[in-house]
Amino acid sequence: MKKIFLVFFIFATVFIIDQFIKYGFVYFDWGYEGKVLSLQLAYNYGVAFSMFSFLKEYLKFIQLIMLFVGVIYLYFNKSVFYKYFVAIGLLYAGGLSNILDRFTYGAVVDYIYWHYGFEFAIFNFADMIINLAVAIIIYQQLFKKKDKKTSV
């Protein structure tokens, strides 16, 4: 039961931080122009690197369905939830925050632009959190396989 409360705490914290930052960029014109990194408002109508932007209005519903399917999967596979609960809290916070952007602003609010040495896509805090969640899951998978090999 403590893990469930921790997941909700992680979710709420990340979700609120991300939405606060995006609100500042949209309504208070936050920004910064640097030599390595710029913070500038951009709207992404697709997913990573603007892929599937042609789906615009439908994308938010497709993503909601995917997250709902994930909830159903986790409900029937509680051991997966308990093993990856931190990553799941992060993943759902970032994902739902970006989906809320689609309903609120019509697109995902991006603002971090790396441009030193090479031009990189514009992304946001939720995107970084989603990547962190995936990295945690991969790390746990590699660590688990390593334990199995040593115990045999």
- Specify the 3-state DSSP secondary structure of 148: helix
CB 21 within 8 A of CB 111: yes
Whole-number Å distance between alpha carbons of 94 and 90? 6
Q: What is the pLDDT of residue 57?
A: 85
Angle, vertex CA 80, rays to CA 74 and CA 81, nearest 5: 60
Instruction: Report in angstroms the alpha-carbon separations of 46 from 51, 101, 107, 109, 140.
Output: 5, 12, 8, 11, 30
Q: What is the Cα 127 distance to its own chain's centre?
A: 4
Picking from 48, 49, 136, the residue whose alpha carbon sits closest to that of residue 90 is 136
Task: Name the residues annotated as catalytic.
Answer: 110, 127
Picking from 91, 105, 66, the residue whose alpha carbon sits closest to that of residue 14 is 91
Beta partners for residue 43, in sequence order? 109
Q: What is the pLDDT of residue 51?
A: 78
pLDDT tens figures, 68-121: 999 999 999 999 999 999 999 999 999 999 999 999 999 999 999 999 888 888
Q: What is the pLDDT of residue 131?
A: 97
Identify residue 4 by its one-letter amino acid code: I
Whole-number Å distance between alpha carbons of 12 and 6? 10
